[in-house]
Chains A and B, each alone.
Chain A
Amino acid sequence: MGLDFNTPVFEVIRNEKKCIQCQVCVRQCSNKVHSYDSQDNVVCTDDIKCVNCHRCVILCPTKALIIRKYPLEFRENANWTSSVIKEIHKQSQTGGVLLSSMGNPKPFPIYWDRMLLNASQVTNPSIDPLREPMETKVMIGGKPEKLDFDAKGKLMTKMPPQVELRMPIMFSAMSYGSISRNAHEALARAATELGICYNTGEGGLNRDFYKYGKNTIVQVASGRFGVHRDYLNAGAAIEIKIGQGAKPGIGGHLPGKKVGEDVSATRMIPIGSDAISPAPHHDIYSIEDLRQLIYSLKETTNYKKPVFVKIAAVHNAAAIASGIVRAGADAVVVDGFRGGTGAAPTRVRDNVGIPIELALAAIDQRLREEEIRNRVSLIISGSIRNSADIVKAVALGADAVYIGSAAVIALGCHMCHSCSTGKCNWGIATQELELVKRLNPDIMYKRLVNLVSAWNHEIQEMLGGMGINAIDSLRGNRLMLRGIGLNEKELNILAIKYAGE
């Protein structure tokens, strides 16, 4: 169609003094940015193909490569920015919906960074977690109204099913299909070693991974891919996915080219067929319908597994969460608008949903007011970036968090936002065997273990600083938080005081 208006987003700069023409970059780039010209003995680059994943930069033995923003400027205009113009160029050429990966990148306020934690001074002692016991274990599942004991002090109350997590962190739902088998293996092995859980996502669970069942949460989503009795019984808990923070109200689409033999068997769909998850569950149009699904899953698993219900953080999240509790869920999972994805319509990713911090505060508050908070655990996700975010989340009322983006970053992701192309140079979001190989689970699971162990240690340090020796004592303890740079309304929703108050 005549002229192509697209211009490069990144520029690859090669330091010729350092380049030894070893062609490692040529062999490693799945986007074919680099090529070798044997006539002139030089390595050339095609900037327009570069997604800035840093694979070549990291592997270049002489560090001869730098990638930077392509310096082409449009006439300055605060309204018609270069990205707005480029998106119009792209859509007027293709006629398609813009797709993006990862979470909402827009500069909306990050409330984690506007809340500060407390510490003990003089009047109450802080605790050194290296010398004294410090508990970060959490039990996920509903808790009874009260506990009854017999004369000998033995518990008589029948406890609802629980999942024990050694630390309040789990790996988010990322389906086999959207991410590679090796990435799944790394997550499963890391979760097992850490005593936490990873989530299968909606792509089913490969039989080879049933051995990690105790540390697996199996998901049931609108496409019902790979859902059968053995699958439901294979994990430690079941999660019904209603929505996802990156694309609330939208279903999913795994392109047929990613559905190879193994993915096809796991999802129970024909090889090469597109796996389309509808936007709604077609059997859930009300809280009562949701209750039916929750209880049919509980029946299938003999009431031994907690059932989670995951929703995206949307305007009425608090009321919806209340309904989910009353429908009989054991845990409510809320995913904020910064939560990642393999692919979402750009407009939805960037404009739909609300920040997780506000949704969490509102839901916890609502469930307390209705006196049903004990009936569920509250799990949040949607861009937990570090251990301080987790401590703040727990203080706002969360029982545990899911980490997805942070986990894939530990696996090598450089946030190039190109998951949907299926050409992930780090072997994460791809099904191409040659690329999948790049993620060696033996190496990568250790990185996940390192990351989560380090965070757990930091959580213990921060708890100790506050004079608290168990994470359960921090849950919903909003006096440990103070706001900074927030207006009255925001402070009200978060139900925290301003710094200095």
Chain B
Amino acid sequence: MKKIYAFESKCLGCGLCEVYCKTAHSKSKDIIKAHKQENITSAIVIEEILQPKAVSYFALQCRHCSSPKCVKACISGAMYKDEKGIVRNDKEKCVSCLSCVLVCPFGAIKKSINGKTVSKCDLCIDYGKSLCIEYCPNEAIKLLNENEAEALK
């Protein structure tokens, strides 16, 4: 299964992936409306690492584990693994108990800003294409299977 991989050596920490993640997951799909009128939490998060020489960044998002702890921990059945292997969250069922946030070994699930649900990467499956990849200015984010990603590391 192909997942989104972000490469630390290329990531500039500009944050454009976050901007486009919010846009892809908005109702309006309009970048300005998504930010000004809708309260969306980005599923991809840029983390800053302080290294000895220079600040380094990496983008953090769901690894779509083969046996996902978040699915097991979910009390309402909102978190599930679909037929393609993508771990998704059904916002209708989610009660925001945050069990998934607690158990995720990567810290890839975030409590959403409105507090009613959680936010995680779904590979923009409903949007049609992963916008974070499309708009990364340095080709730091790629859609790859595990072997391809290993080869590039």
Task: Determine, out of B11-19, B68-76, B110-118, the stretch whose residues face the partner at the interface.
Answer: B11-19
The answer to the question of B84 belonging to the interface, with a C-beta cut-off of 8 Å to chain A, is: no
Q: Choose from A22, A27, A433, A440 the contact partner of B53 (Cβ within 8 Å).
A: A433
Instruction: Decide: A62 near B138, CB < 8 A? Known: A22-B18, A27-B14, A437-B12.
Output: no
Q: Type the 1/0 row for B115-153, where 1 means its CB is closer than 8 Å to any CB of A.
A: 000000000000000000001011100000000000000
| Most chain A beta carbons < 10 A, residue from B12, B18, B36 | B12
Which residue on A lies nearest to B8, using beta carbons? A437
Q: Choose from B10, B12, B19, B55 the contact partner of A22 (Cβ within 8 Å).
A: B19
B residues near A24, Cβ cutoff 8 Å: 14-16, 19
B residues near A21, Cβ cutoff 8 Å: 35
How many contacts A-B (CB < 8 Å)?
52
A319 to chain B minimum Cβ distance, whole angstroms, is 50
CA distance A231 to B127 in the complex (A): 53
B residues near A22, Cβ cutoff 8 Å: 15-16, 18-19, 35
Q: Which of A367-394 contact B (CB under 8 A)?
A: none
CA distance A437 to B56 in the complex (A): 10
10 example contacts (A-B, Cβ-Cβ < 8 A) are as follows A22-B15, A22-B16, A24-B19, A27-B12, A28-B12, A28-B14, A61-B135, A437-B138, A440-B138, A443-B138
Residues of A within 8 A of B (CB): 17-18, 20-24, 27-28, 59, 61-62, 432-434, 437-438, 440, 442-443
Which residue on A lies nearest to B34, using beta carbons? A20
Q: Choose from A28, A61, A434, A443 the contact partner of B20 (Cβ within 8 Å).
A: A61
Q: Choose from B10, B16, B31, B35 the contact partner of A59 (Cβ within 8 Å).
A: B16
| Most chain B beta carbons < 10 A, residue from A27, A433, A437 | A437
B residues near A437, Cβ cutoff 8 Å: 9-10, 12, 138
The answer to the question of B32 belonging to the interface, with a C-beta cut-off of 8 Å to chain A, is: yes
A332 to chain B minimum Cβ distance, whole angstroms, is 40
Q: Choose from B10, B31, B54 the contact partner of A440 (Cβ within 8 Å).
A: B10
CA distance A235 to B9 in the complex (A): 29
CA distance A160 to B12 in the complex (A): 48
A residues near B53, Cβ cutoff 8 Å: 433
Instruction: Decide: A20 near B36, CB < 8 A? Known: A61-B19, A438-B138.
Output: yes
B55 near A61 (CB under 8 angstroms)? Answer: no
CA distance A24 to B20 in the complex (A): 12
B48 to chain A minimum Cβ distance, whole angstroms, is 10
Residues of B within 8 A of A (CB): 9-10, 12-16, 18-20, 31-32, 35-36, 53-55, 135, 137-139
A residues near B55, Cβ cutoff 8 Å: 434
Instruction: Decide: A61 near B138, CB < 8 A? Known: A24-B14, A433-B54, A437-B12.
Output: no
A442 near B135 (CB under 8 angstroms)? Answer: no
B35 to chain A minimum Cβ distance, whole angstroms, is 4
B residues near A23, Cβ cutoff 8 Å: 15
B138 near A59 (CB under 8 angstroms)? Answer: no
Which residue on B lies nearest to A438, using beta carbons? B12
CA distance A24 to B137 in the complex (A): 12
A432 near B54 (CB under 8 angstroms)? Answer: yes
CA distance A23 to B16 in the complex (A): 9
CA distance A17 to B35 in the complex (A): 11
CA distance A59 to B16 in the complex (A): 8
A27 near B13 (CB under 8 angstroms)? Answer: yes
Which 3 interchain pairs have the tightest Cβ spacing? A20-B35, A433-B54, A22-B19
B105 to chain A minimum Cβ distance, whole angstroms, is 28
B32 near A62 (CB under 8 angstroms)? Answer: yes
B54 near A20 (CB under 8 angstroms)? Answer: no
Which residue on A lies nearest to B10, using beta carbons? A440
Which residue on A lies nearest to B54, using beta carbons? A433
CA distance A69 to B14 in the complex (A): 26
A442 near B14 (CB under 8 angstroms)? Answer: no
A275 to chain B minimum Cβ distance, whole angstroms, is 21
| 16 other A-B residue contacts (CB within 8 Å) besides A434-B55, A437-B12 | A20-B19, A21-B35, A22-B18, A24-B19, A27-B14, A28-B12, A59-B137, A61-B20, A62-B31, A432-B54, A433-B54, A434-B12, A437-B10, A438-B12, A438-B138, A442-B139
Which residue on A lies nearest to B140, using beta carbons? A440
CA distance A28 to B19 in the complex (A): 14
A residues near B10, Cβ cutoff 8 Å: 437, 440
